[in-house]
Amino acid sequence: MPHLTGAHVGTAHTDVRTGLGVPGFAHPLLAPAEWAELTRPGPPLHWVVLNVAAGPGCRPDPYCLDAGARLSDAGVRVLGHLDADRAGRGFTELLAEAERYADWYRVDGFLVDHCPTERSALPEIRRVVSTLRTLLGGAHVVLGHGAHPHPGYTEVADQLVTFDGPWSEYRWSQVAEWTAEYPPDRFCHFVHGVPRGHLDEALRIARWQGAATVWFTDRAAHGGYADPWEAMPGYWDDIVSRIGTGVSE
């Protein structure tokens, strides 16, 4: 277990601009305005996850094909969603889904969600990521741990999601000391249930903890069933303005 320090780390890097990593909206047919908004000039997007049907689906989806193409045309990096199920899903199954994403949607990389954190799972995740890079030259790979993993995972992927959860936990969260050895563009934080009045505080915590890619929303999970990421936050214009103008910096 990595040693943890307090939530506010005063030695954070200052030369990396904060940007947005979108975990994935609802299907474009159900959330057309959200997907269209992402293609407008201005939002400081690092990447957007395309999750067609708990993965790439069994056949090309015309609505998702269009959404992905529009994002690519706008210069936005698109990632396919792969669910590792804490290493519960096999290598062959993940690779088959990755191939469909690459063939159908021309993605730029992958978010490997529900990635394990233990050192013992490192060899298998390394194998998965190596194969993804072979499949898709230049693939941007994000490991969605949702918590601080063993430090060895930093040598495997481009970015790690080291927090994924509610604001009630994030505002008192701690950061592993070993993360200070890496630049902020290696880490991502996804936080739901962030009240509008605490948006600046959330951005400061991300900066102080050294995470340059964030997604904050006022939407919350209820009873473990609702997906807080399926729509834009109610303060979308505010967060775009704050990050885009460097207010959070």
What's residue 15's pLDDT?
A: 52
What's residue 90's pLDDT?
A: 80
**Taking the CB of residue 146, how many other CB atoms lie within 10 A of it?**
19
The fraction of the chain above a pLDDT of 90, given in percent, is: 82
Measured CA angle at 185 (ends 181, 189), to 5 deg: 100
The alpha carbon dihedral of 185, 186, 190, 191 has a sign of negative
What's residue 11's pLDDT?
A: 42
If one compares 17 and 75, the residue with the highest pLDDT of the two is 75
Predicted confidence (pLDDT) per residue in 87-142, tens digit: 677 889 999 999 999 999 999 999 999 999 999 999 999 999 999 999 999 899 99
Taking residues 20-34, what's their average pLDDT?
95
Predicted confidence (pLDDT) per residue in 49-92, tens digit: 999 999 999 999 999 999 999 999 999 999 999 999 876 778 89
What's residue 75's pLDDT?
A: 95
If one compares 244 and 23, the residue with the highest pLDDT of the two is 23
What's residue 183's pLDDT?
A: 97
If one compares 246 and 38, the residue with the highest pLDDT of the two is 38
Predicted confidence (pLDDT) per residue in 188-218, tens digit: 999 999 999 999 999 999 999 999 999 999 9
- Determine the Cα–Cα distance for residues 38 and 205; give it in Å rounded to an integer: 25
Say which CATH topology domain 4-8+22-244 has: TIM Barrel (3.20.20)
Structure tokens at 236: 């979308």
In the structure, what pLDDT confidence band is assigned to residue 16 with cuts at 50, 70 and 90? low
In the structure, what pLDDT confidence band is assigned to residue 12 with cuts at 50, 70 and 90? very low
What's residue 13's pLDDT?
A: 46
- Determine the Cα–Cα distance for residues 105 and 60; give it in Å rounded to an integer: 8
